[in-house]
């Protein structure tokens, strides 16, 4: 097991997972659509992740679609007891690679069964309701019908734990009345800090917060401040951005994604970086206007 485990653990789906996990989205083809460019390399990344001690993998059956779940099953099934696989439902992919809402109870039920089949399991560890909102930004509105549908599938034993993605604080509160929420997955990083208050509130309730686009997303984080801090620490800017997230709050779990073994190892090494007060103060300026 690698030294990245020194970053500690946090509860997810009833189990303690290492705070540095792995996101499988980039294993699919360009635009998260179609098969990977190099299937053997994709399988190798998954196998090394688990061999290294990663025990939290994030995926969805609409990545590909179906591609990443099928790769996870091929690479890792039967799954280690300590591995928590988190998937999400709430969207489908069009033939043109578009992302389309699929939020009705019937569509959510169908998606859960797709995930069960493609992952090769009888019950899913954690299922996030991916609220479409403004695609990559949340929008207010009741999620009661959708979350209730998933809670009913949980009661039937098809889902062990429930989570939320792309949601507001109001929607989190609404969902918690219906069923326990294990995690919230929203857009958050050094430069995009809208969820600061939500992260702290979730932490007080023992709920994990999992940032998507931790490195900026389709437009990677670029900042002279970030580059200066990284140069001083002998790290890459992206490693510093991940280290900042780990330092931000103990309930933050990271799922940086890559299809490259070298990049995967670089991401894990970010967990060993310790940011001093000067570095944290400099990096704080990046989110001053967020």
> Count of residues for the chain?
290
Whether the link from the prior residue into 218 is cis, omega within 30° of 0, is: no
Strands 15-18 and 9-12: antiparallel
d(CA 10, CA 253): 8
Distance, in Å, from the CA atom of 36 to the CA atom of 15, rounded to the nearest integer, reads: 31
Contacts 24+ apart (CB under 8 A), 221-227: 221/189, 221/190, 221/191, 223/190, 223/191, 223/286, 225/282, 225/283, 225/285, 225/286, 226/190, 226/283, 226/286
Strand pairing partners for 252?
A: 209
- The Cα–Cα gap between 197 and 258 comes to 29
Which residues, at least 6 apart from 201, have a Cβ–Cβ distance to it below 8 Å?
Answer: 169
For residue 43, the Cα-to-chain-centroid distance in whole angstroms is 19
The most distant pair of C-alpha atoms in the chain lies apart, rounded to whole Å, by: 53
Cα separation, 100 vs 285, whole angstroms: 36
| Catalytic residue (one of 63, 79, 188, 209) | 63
**What Cα–Cα distance (Å) separates residue 189 from each residue in 59, 137, 154, 214?**
19, 13, 31, 5
188 is catalytic: no
The residues, any chain, with a CB within 8 Å of residue 105's CB and separated by 6 or more, are 145, 146, 148, 149
Cα–Cα separations (whole angstroms), residue 187 to 57, 136, 288: 17, 7, 17
Catalytic residues: 63
């Amino acid at each position: 097991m690698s030294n990245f485990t020194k970053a500690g653990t946090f509860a997810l789906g009833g189990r303690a997972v290492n705070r540095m996990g792995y996101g499988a989205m980039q294993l699919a083809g360009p635009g998260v659509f179609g098969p990977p460019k190099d299937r053997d390399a994709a399988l190798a990344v998954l196998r090394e992740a688990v061999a290294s001690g990663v025990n939290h993998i994030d995926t969805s059956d609409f990545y590909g679609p179906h591609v990443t779940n099928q790769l996870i099953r091929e690479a890792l099934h039967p799954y280690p007891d300590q591995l928590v696989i988190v998937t999400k439902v709430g969207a489908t992919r069009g033939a043109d690679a578009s992302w389309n809402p699929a939020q009705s109870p019937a569509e959510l039920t169908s998606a859960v069964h797709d995930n069960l089949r493609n992952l090769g399991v009888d019950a899913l560890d954690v299922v996030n309701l991916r609220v479409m909102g403004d695609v990559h930004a949340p929008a207010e509105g009741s999620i009661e019908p959708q979350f209730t549908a998933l809670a009913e599938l949980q009661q039937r034993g098809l889902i062990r734990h429930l989570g939320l993605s792309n949601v507001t604080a109001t929607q989190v509160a609404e969902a918690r009345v219906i069923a326990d929420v294990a995690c919230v997955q929203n857009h958050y990083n050094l430069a995009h800090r809208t969820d600061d208050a939500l992260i702290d509130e979730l932490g007080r309730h023992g709920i994990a917060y999992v940032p998507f686009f931790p490195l900026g997303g389709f437009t990677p984080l670029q900042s002279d401040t970030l580059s200066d801090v990284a140069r001083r620490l002998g790290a890459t800017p992206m490693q510093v951005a991940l280290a900042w997230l780990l330092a931000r709050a103990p309930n933050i779990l990271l799922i940086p994604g890559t299809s490259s073994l070298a990049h995967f190892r670089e991401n894990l090494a970010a967990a060993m970086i310790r940011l001093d007060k000067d570095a944290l103060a400099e990096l704080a300026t990046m989110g001053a206007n967020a």
